[in-house]
Amino acid sequence: MDQATNMETQLAEQTLQDPALAQSGSNVLRRHIKENPKKAVLARHRLWQDSIPHEYPMTYTPYKIGVYIRYFNQTRHENYLEKHIQQYMDDIALCPQWTLVDFYVDKGMTAPHMEYSKEWCRLLEDCFTGKVDLIVTQKVSNVSSDWKEMSFMARMLAAQKHPVGIYFISEDIFTLASYYQPDLRDMGLLPEGWQTLPADELDEPMLSTLPKPAVLEQAEQLSLDEETDAME
């Protein structure tokens, strides 16, 4: 058997071994190249990001900044966290109107729900007490594994008397941007089809919702009941 015939026989045998590949319409010339589906997803995501408007915290606006980091070292540098912190410090130092309050670092590769992240909870306390009015973090998934939870918290912070914003660097999203303001009271926070409960005559109103005379009358009645119980 000559060499050409031998080669044809080998090719035929390979085709028989994988008939599905031959009939699938796949690009057989690239069958040895391992495609990364994440690259295609990221490419589509970047196109989407480019299509939406973007605002970011202005350097001339005074901000009290809390930097949130989710730390999981996947590099060969043992002091990667220190390098990461230094980078933030260098960036913030370029903005004289910005004040760095603190770094809040939770460890772990993926974020759980917010209540399980101690440093994130500490950061929220500082936001609600007025110590921080701008959170800077790398990406949404650093904060929570549930984007709806993240959206709800962003709206809660933005609705404060002194609004608190979050800037996600990777997504280039600023929650105090003008185009997010109409969404702060979006009904999307509630399940689809949600309605207020109808008035029920069996519902007993709380004292704080009663007219003032009724509150006083009910308080006096409670005091008399307590005195009667004590005498018995």
Q: What does residue 167 show for φ and ψ, rounded to 5 degrees?
A: -115, 120
Q: Name the maximum alpha-carbon separation found in the chain.
A: 117
pLDDT-based confidence at 119, cuts 50/70/90?
A: very high
Rounded CA separation 216/48 (Å): 59
Which H/E stretch holds residue 155? Answer: helix 147-158
Query: Could you give the strand order of the β-sheet that contains 63-71, starting from the edge strand earlier in sequence?
Result: 98-107, 63-71, 134-137, 165-168, 173-174
Per-residue model confidence as pLDDT tens digits over 2-56? 555 555 555 555 544 555 655 566 665 566 667 777 777 777 777 776 776 677 8
Rounded CA separation 164/101 (Å): 14
The residue with greater pLDDT, 227 or 200, is: 227
Q: What is the SS3 assignment for 128? A: helix
Q: Domain extents for the chain? A: 63-183
| pTM for this prediction | 0.61
The residue with greater pLDDT, 190 or 137, is: 137
Tokens representing 205?
Answer: 């109103």
For 134-169, letters b (16+ CB in 10 Å) and e give bbbbbebbbbbeeeeebbebbbebbeeeeebbbbbe
Q: What does residue 70 show for φ and ψ, rounded to 5 degrees?
A: -105, 115
CATH number attached to the domain at 63-183: 3.40.50.1390
Q: Rank 110-114, 171-175, 186-190 by mean pLDDT and report only the highest.
A: 171-175
pLDDT-based confidence at 195, cuts 50/70/90?
A: low
Give the type of residue at 25: G
Per-residue model confidence as pLDDT tens digits over 155-187? 889 988 899 999 988 888 888 887 776 665 554
